[in-house]
């Protein structure tokens, strides 16, 4: 039988994920700090809670997807919340956190008999809507198996190890994505400034070794200069900072991660922290004295 689910956080990612759970027949009570963002879920059959405590009451599984560790601390570890979570409850934390924070969360909840899975996701809002997210899960295997019917509504979930492992795997994903974003922007700059039809050249790469979701989705955004956020630069930079912290602590040299972290850091300093990660194109343009990525001007324009 589907378990009752408490769902905390119904923002850009959380709302479509909650909708998928409701479509699969799960009974769900949702809460969001800004109440209006949770109300549309009523049309899909959700109960709307006025407090997090109300949302988790009677829930066998609690999904939580908030912006950062401070929000998790405020919501998940409020004294009344710890009392409301029944022993045996599985908490699926879909927030991207520092691995140390995930390990600490797991230990604190385990002291109350509550299971904790760190389960960050990759795939952005489109993946949340389509149910095609990559989900990297750390925690106890038996809790992961119990959570599979829920995680399966979001996408493909892989258990990668003990608590904190999901977050470390997500950091690896961000390192790869950061490098890909920079490389795609550089390739598009090369096409744009050497007389090649940039849209056609990008399309020509589809199906080859250079193909990727970054090339297809973010490459298009770069060409069209669509930098409204799907995934914020500030959030991406937070993950790259966490990866840098782990690398320094373990004596690792990760030069590509260091380079992309510096580039995203510069964008954040320049006021683009709220922009989409495709705004990496702007950093490549800055390094090329303002020459732009995009189609060559139409020579007939203005004639």
Show which residues are catalytic: 170
Question: Sign of torsion, CA 76 10 175 240?
Answer: negative
Alpha-carbon distance of 289 to 224, in angstroms, equals: 20
How is residue 117 written in tokens?
């899975």
**What is the three-class DSSP state of 27?**
coil
How is residue 207 written in tokens?
């199906």
Q: Which long-range contacts (CB under 8 A, 24 or more apart) does 207-214 make?
A: 212/180, 212/184, 214/177, 214/180, 214/181, 214/184
Alpha-carbon distance of 229 to 279, in angstroms, equals: 9
What's the Cα-to-Cα distance from 280 to each of 53, 62, 82, 146, 286, rounded to whole Å? 40, 35, 41, 39, 10
Q: What residues have CB less than 8 Å from 266, skipping those under 6 apart? A: 283, 286
Alpha-carbon distance of 210 to 213, in angstroms, equals: 10
48 forms beta bridges with 30
How is residue 194 written in tokens?
């050497």
Maximum alpha-carbon separation in the chain: 74
Rg (C-alpha) for the chain, rounded Å, is: 21
- Residue whose entry in the numeric block shows the structure tokens 């373990």: 250
Q: What residues have CB less than 8 Å from 79, skipping those under 6 apart? A: none
């Amino acid at each position: 039988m589907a378990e009752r689910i408490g769902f905390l956080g119904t923002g850009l990612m959380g709302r479509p994920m909650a909708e998928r759970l409701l479509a699969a027949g799960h009974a769900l009570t949702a809460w969001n700090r800004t109440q209006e963002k949770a109300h549309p879920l009523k049309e899909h059959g959700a109960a709307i809670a006025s407090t997090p405590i109300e949302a988790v009451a009677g829930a066998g599984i609690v999904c939580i997807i908030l912006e950062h560790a401070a929000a998790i601390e405020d919501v998940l570890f409020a004294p009344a919340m710890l009392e409301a979570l029944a022993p045996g409850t599985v908490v699926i934390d879909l927030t991207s956190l520092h691995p140390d924070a995930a390990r600490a969360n797991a230990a604190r909840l385990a002291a109350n008999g509550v299971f904790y899975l760190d389960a960050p996701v990759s795939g952005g809002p489109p993946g949340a809507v389509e149910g095609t997210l990559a989900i990297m899960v750390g925690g106890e295997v038996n809790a992961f198996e119990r959570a599979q019917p829920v995680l399966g509504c979001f996408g493909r979930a892989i258990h990668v190890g003990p608590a904190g492992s999901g977050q470390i795997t997500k950091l690896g994903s961000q390192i790869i994505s950061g490098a890909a974003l920079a490389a795609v922007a550089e390739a598009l700059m090369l096409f744009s400034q050497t007389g090649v039809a940039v849209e056609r050249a990008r399309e020509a790469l589809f199906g080859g070794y250079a193909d990727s979701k970054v090339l297809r989705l973010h490459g298009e955004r770069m060409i069209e200069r669509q930098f409204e956020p799907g995934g914020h630069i500030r959030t991406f930079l937070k993950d790259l900072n966490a990866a840098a912290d782990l690398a320094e602590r373990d004596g690792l040299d990760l030069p590509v991660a260091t380079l992309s972290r510096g580039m995203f850091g510069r964008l954040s300093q320049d006021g683009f922290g709220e922009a989409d990660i495709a705004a990496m194109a702007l950093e490549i343009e800055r390094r090329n004295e303002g020459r732009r990525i995009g189609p060559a001007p139409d020579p007939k324009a203005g004639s």
